[in-house]
Amino acid sequence: MRKRHLLMLLLAISLNAKKKNPDGETQTLALPRDPPQVAVGETARLVFNVSPLSGKGLLSQQTRDAMKAILKANGGVPVVHIRAFVAGSGDVRRVPQIVSEVLAEKKMPLPSVSVVLAGGLPLDNAQVVLEAISNGRRDANPSGLEFIAGEEATADDPLASPQPLLEKAVSQLAAKVNGASVVQVSCFVGTMNNPAYLVDPEPFPWRRGGSGANAKNSAACAGELRSGSARRRG
DSSP one-letter string for 30-57: PPPPPPPS-----GGGEEEEEPPP--SS
79-86: strand order across its sheet:
46-50, 128-135, 79-86, 112-117
Q: Find how far residue 95's CA is from the centre of its chain.
A: 9
CA atoms within 13 A on the CB side of 119: 13
Provide CATH code, domain 43-135.
Answer: 3.30.1330.40
Comparing CA positions, the residue from 53, 25, 84, 34 lying closest to residue 196 is 53
Assigned fold of 145-226: 60s Ribosomal Protein L30; Chain: A; (3.30.1330)
* Kind and range of the H or E run holding 60: helix 59-73
pLDDT digit string (tens) for 55-96?
999 999 999 999 999 999 999 999 999 999 999 888 889 999
pLDDT digit string (tens) for 31-64?
667 888 888 888 999 999 999 999 999 999 999 9
pLDDT at residue 35 in the model: 85
Beta bridge partners of residue 47, listed in sequence order: 134
Query: Mean per-residue pLDDT for 97-113?
Result: 95
Residue extents of the structural domains in the chain: 43-135, 145-226
What predicted TM-score, i.e. pTM, was given to this entire model?
Answer: 0.73
- Whether the per-residue pLDDT at 147 is higher than 90: the answer is no
pLDDT at residue 48 in the model: 93
CB 40 within 8 A of CB 109: no
